Amino acid sequence: MKKIRKTAVYVFLLILAVVCLLPFLIMFNNATQSSADLTTRLTLRPGTELFHNYRNMVAQIPFWAYIKNSFLTTMPNVLLTGYFGTMAAYGFEKFDFRGKSILFAMSMLMMVIPAQISLIGLYRIFSIMKLLNTRWTLILPGICNVLTVYWMRGNIYQVVDTSLLEAATIDGCGQIGIFHRVVLPLCKTGIVTISIINFVAAWNDYINPVTFITTNKKTTLSVGIAMLNNFDYVDLGAVYVAITLSTIVILVFYLLFNSQIMGGVAEGSVKG
Amino acid sequence: MIRKKRNINYGLLFIAPFLIGLLVFRMIPFLYTLVMSFTNWNLMTGEKSFNGIDNYKRLLTDKTFMISLKNTVKLWAMNIFPRLAIAMLCAVIFTQSRIKGKGLFKLIFYFPNLVNSATIAILAALLMGWQNGYLNRLLLQMNLIRQPFNWLGQPVTAQRIVAAIIWWQWFGYSAIMFATGILNVSTEYLEAATVDGANSWQKFWKITFPLIRPTVAYVFLTTLIGGLQNFEIPRVITDGLGAPDKSLLTMTMQMHTLAFRSMQYGYGSAYAIGIFMTTAVFAGVSYRFINNKES
């Protein structure tokens, strides 16, 4: 009885694993087939046209420019979030001032209100600030990542000992110096974890870049990939290579940082 | 806490950049959208003046709003229950059964969530496409069909496919959340129940589920709020048109089209506030429902 049950559990998990991976496996395989074969005969054997498809793809799609653009917006955004998010979390956690709980509650409220609802207003604000079509539209909102402040506040509560801060004060360290020399180093692991999660979110962002950036030169990866949906203009093999590469980029990132990603997701549920 | 008087201002100083950002990029845009919703601002016609609640009157009689609302709720409702059920099953397996390779399965189940939605949508369009779609080619080759079937061209199948994609993207995430919720429940209860001779089914419904109810409520509410903002997959698959027959037109898609394709800032803003109100009502009702059950 126990054995049957164990087998059933395995079969269930394996079926789910196949469901998760099969679309990607077909995608990888199709990236190696010639475009003509893709529309006439299908085979499960890997093809030989990968490099041919790749050359077609880079001739028709500025794929590496998309990657570069995504990187140039994602990286500064994540750094901004890590720095100012930790700073705000520190201010909320270790200091007392009037109106603190109201300010914190108000910030948390903004976490519940979906950002997309204010999209038109934000578009007008960027227009007034003359920032439309610049990378700043995707970078600057990193200053106010509410989830990061919430998350880092918990982290600071756990790892930053108040007596240590007092000792540093007695040693004549200024408050800003304490933040940079004591708090930031102590929170390093936490900041790295939340930054990895923020990186994935910013990298995959679609609605903001598609709204605020309309010049082709600055198109990010997700928007560039989305533009492929008119298959008449690009050959199928090339499209398959483009989405395969887009998947591989995040797959490599996942394999490098999976413990932080899984840990961060799990921790989100504890606090939620 | 550092309570010395000279430190008081530093707390504010540290949160200042964040608060200013929140004000400029979140709060003012929200209020601005609210104000614009009472205007007829339209870049195409050049109109720009207050028109009271005209936009809201129009919204309530706008068939497209009702259609997009219905589609959005439907796409969410079609995937949420299979998602919660499968995720819960996975979470119980991950936390309570002694099988090998749990870590690997978790890794695999969460992966679809990390790939950007645009890539997923393009892949779906390639696999489920009409004349040259992979599935149709496969079925033709196996002589299971004679004519390629237009999966994404029929409202019923198109909606099912999009709901299935969203399920596929999110069940792993929910599973991890539930697994963590279960692990946080003291295992003492479960051990005591085992001693008392309870079987797995009883243990789950009598002990585990009531204890992780807050996690379930949290996951349910966040997926509801997120689901009502559904945008990326249907937008990329249909290029913002919501075809076939507007069956994939979601609320946020229509708002985006109104504001950024037809340049109707006024009505688009009212549409956005409409989404906000809808979300608030749905979230409020489910919250009360969950709370009532809990007490």
Q: What is the pLDDT of residues B141-163, one digit of tens each?
A: 888 988 999 999 999 999 999 99
Check whether residue A23 and residue A74 sit in a common domain.
Answer: no
Structure confidence by residue, pLDDT tens digits, A58-68: 999 999 999 99
Contact B111 A118 (CB under 8 A): no
Q: How far apart are CA B152 and CA B158, in angstroms?
A: 4
Does B8 contact chain A (CB < 8 Å)?
A: yes
Is there a domain that residue A258 lies in?
no
CB A113 within 8 A of CB B30: yes
Are A179 and A45 members of one domain? Answer: no
Vertex B258, ends B256 and B264: CA angle to 5°? 125
Rg, chain B, Cα only: 24
Domain limits, chain B = 60-116+162-294
Same domain, A110 and A198: yes
> Do A25 and A79 fall into the same domain?
no
CB atoms within 10 A of CB A61: 19
**Helical ranges in B185-264 per DSSP H:** 187-195, 200-203, 209-211, 213-227, 232-238, 251-260
Same domain, A46 and A68: no
Domain boundary, last residue among A37, A56, A75: A56
Q: How far apart are CA A46 and CA B272, in angstroms?
A: 47
Cβ proximity of A235 and A56 under 8 Å:
yes
Cα B27 to the chain's mean position, in Å? Answer: 22
Q: Which residues of A touch B32 (CB under 8 A)?
A: 118, 120-121, 124-125
A24 plus A82 within the same structural domain: no
How many angstroms separate the CA atoms of B94 and A249, rounded?
28
Which stretches in chain A have pLDDT values below 50? 270-272
A154 found inside a domain:
yes
| Confidence check on the interface: ipTM exceeds 0.90, yes or no | yes
Query: In terms of domains, do A11 and A107 share one?
Result: no
Name the minimum distance, in Å, from the CA of A19 to any CA of chain B: 8
At A98, which CATH number?
Answer: 1.10.3720.10
On whether any CB of chain A is under 8 Å from the CB of B215, the answer is yes
Regarding whether A68 and A175 lie in a shared domain, the answer is yes
A142 and A158 housed in the same domain: yes
Distance (Å, whole) CA A50 – CA A237: 8
Residue A234 lies in a domain: no
Q: What is the interface size between A and B, counted as CB pairs within 8 Å? A: 295
Residues A24 and A152 in one domain: no
Say what the alpha-carbon torsion angle A68, A69, A75, A78 is, to the nearest 10 degrees: -150
Beta partners for residue B50, in sequence order? B39
Region B60-116+162-294: CATH code: 1.10.3720.10
State the residue for tokens 């007392």: A96
Number of domains in chain A: 2
Looking at the structure, tell me whether residues A28 and A113 fall in a common domain.
no
- Beta carbons within 10 angstroms of residue B15's beta carbon: 25
How distant is the Cα of B157 from the closest Cα of chain A, in angstroms? 18
**What is the distance between the alpha carbons of residues B203 and B188, in angstroms, rounded to a whole number?**
12
**Cα angle, residue A237 at apex, residues A56 and A34 outer, rounded to 5°:** 100
Strand partners, B39: B50
This prediction has a pTM of: 0.93
CA distance A214 to A132: 9
Return the DSSP state at B26.
I
Alpha carbon separation from B22 to A104, A142, A203, A222, B242 (Å, rounded): 12, 10, 21, 25, 33
Do A50 and A97 belong together in one domain?
Answer: no
Q: Which of A83, A30, A76 is nearest to A235 (CA)?
A: A30
Range of the domain at A36: 2-56
Per-residue pLDDT of chain B (295 residues; tens, 9 = 90+): 444 445 458 899 999 999 999 999 999 999 999 999 999 999 989 999 999 999 999 999 999 999 999 999 999 999 999 999 999 999 999 987 778 889 999 999 999 999 999 999 999 999 998 888 899 988 998 889 889 999 999 999 999 999 999 999 999 999 999 998 888 876 677 777 777 777 777 878 888 888 888 889 988 999 999 999 999 999 999 988 888 999 999 999 999 999 999 999 999 999 999 999 999 999 999 988 887 765 5
Q: Which amino acid is at B197?
A: G
Partners of residue B34 in chain A, C-beta under 8 Å: 121
Q: Do B3 and A254 touch (CB under 8 A)?
A: no
